[in-house]
Amino acid sequence: MKKKILILTVTAGNAHNECAKRIKEKLQSLDSEAEIKIIDVLNTYSTAMRAWVADEGYNLVVGKMVWAYHPFYNHYKKAKPENRYTCGAQGSAMSIMRGLLAEVIDFEPDVIYCTHFYGAIALSNLRLVYDLPCKVVMTSLDYVYSPFWEGAINVDYFNIPNEDFIDGALRLGFSHSQLLPFGLPVSEKTLEVVDKLEARKELGIDENLTTICVMFGGGLWKGGFEIFKNLLASLKGHKAQIIMINGKNKKDYDRISKMKFDEGIKVVNVGFTDKVSLYLSASDFIINKCGGASATEMINKALPMIITEKVPTQEIYNYKYLKEKGCAFSFGNKKELKRHVLDLLLDKDLREKMSDNCRKIRKDALNDLARFIMTFPKADYSKLHATDIDLKRLNKIVKQKMCEAQKKEHLSLKQAKKMECHA
């Protein structure tokens, strides 16, 4: 019988959906007969308002009011893991449980893979009541444990960035046996080794100039054009080639198209392209934001990073980690940007050292994770019957079990502390 895999995602920016798409493609390449379904859980099972908050609402806040996002994020990050059943994500997780359980019963997946914590938390809650026979695997897409992952304590496996993050997961209550340090699963293209000169030749750009890529992704985040202008000012009196990838930002693309540049500065102005991986291969270093998935693509390309500090909170944690590993610099103003740009422009040894540091933490995550998922046998659903489940009372029944589980965990911790005091 063919394997069935259910992939749960959430539209909150594009990273989670892209992760879902990439893992589906990889799984299908390993088993063309496998039946694989992707479901956006909020858009499919929850309310329009919750779906809006997760995507457009989030982009609005981090794009225009990131100062308001920082305290929110850090408040929930400080939450005690033992309060997992009342964490801030439980409302959205509860809102999708009925639809998700009905889907599981109907589709009978052997494995459920979650690219976001909402689906994973909902399944974790359902397991307090129902013996779901499928394996549940979830993956983090940042180099930090953002708030609410602790709510998914009852999944089978948690894929984390690397071995550096094991202790953090243990503090959240996960066990060693649940942890998979496979890394963040991004496009396989980013692992392809392409010679810089060959990449430049294929793209038809200057093959000899030190090349700086500038790329800031989509969403409502603003600041890319200003950073581009500051980069030009930093390069005054020097020679360099700049690849400016604007994506769908036509306004900035048009503005750059009308600009004139100093002698010795070549600008490759790029709109939306499917050759991002090739442009990265052609570059010597990059100026960018620090979303977990995009940062992983730079790591895979062994590309030194200069990262803006005006980013959402999880990206601050991301770039701090990459700085600790020697893969990145960060800048909060144009003076700092200029210093880092000139350091990397003029010091080839520094660029190579940072590239080597990237290689040390590089993972073949997509392949490793997909192969792991394909190892699971068929799930036996003979003991899970739709007729035994009261979908109308589902949330009430699960919530009661959640309260019991939280009380039990609190009591266990209290007893453990007493034993420590008497030891």
Q: What is the pLDDT of residue 142?
A: 97
Burial of residue 271 (number of CB atoms within 10 Å: 0-12, 13-18, 19+): middle
Lowest mean pLDDT among 69-83, 214-228, 406-420: 214-228
Lowest mean pLDDT among 259-268, 299-308, 383-392: 383-392
Average pLDDT over residues 396-414: 93
DSSP 377: -
Q: What percent of the chain shows pLDDT beyond 90?
A: 86
Average pLDDT over residues 112-140: 97
Residue 340 CB contacts under 8 Å (≥ 6 apart), including other chains: 306, 329, 331
161: left (phi over 0), alpha (psi -120 to 50) or beta: alpha
Average pLDDT over residues 247-264: 91
Q: Which fold has domain 190-362?
A: Rossmann fold (3.40.50)
Instruction: In whole angstroms, give the CA distance from residue 27 to residue 163.
Output: 24
Residue 254 has pLDDT above 60, yes or no: yes
**Per-residue pLDDT reduced to its tens digit, 336-345:** 999 999 999 9
Lowest mean pLDDT among 78-87, 99-108, 243-252, 335-344: 243-252
Query: E strands of 275-353, at which residues?
Result: 285-288, 305-308, 328-331
Q: What is the pLDDT of residue 412?
A: 87
Lowest mean pLDDT among 60-64, 79-83, 156-160, 295-299: 60-64
Task: Find the helix packing angle between 90-107 and 117-126, rounded to 10°.
Answer: 70
Overall size of the chain counted in residues? 423
Average pLDDT over residues 124-130: 96
Average pLDDT over residues 56-75: 90
pLDDT band at 66 (very low <50, low <70, confident <90, very high): confident
Record the pTM.
0.94
Domains 4-184+366-422 and 190-362 are alike in CATH topology: yes
Average pLDDT, the chain: 94
Q: What is the pLDDT of residue 266?
A: 97
pLDDT band at 221 (very low <50, low <70, confident <90, very high): low
DSSP string, 332-345: SSHHHHHHHHHHHH
What's the CATH number of domain 4-184+366-422, 3.60.9.10, 3.40.50.2000, 3.40.50.12780, 1.10.1060.10?
A: 3.40.50.2000
3-state secondary structure of 263: coil
Q: What is the pLDDT of residue 219?
A: 54
> Which tokens belong to 352?
């190579």
The residue ranges of every structural domain in the chain are 4-184+366-422, 190-362
pLDDT band at 423 (very low <50, low <70, confident <90, very high): low
CA 60 to chain centre: 19
Of 362, 351, 359, 300, nearest to 329 by C-alpha is: 351
Instruction: In whole angstroms, give the CA distance from residue 128 to residue 124.
Output: 7
Residue 216 has pLDDT above 90, yes or no: no
Residue 255 has pLDDT above 70, yes or no: yes
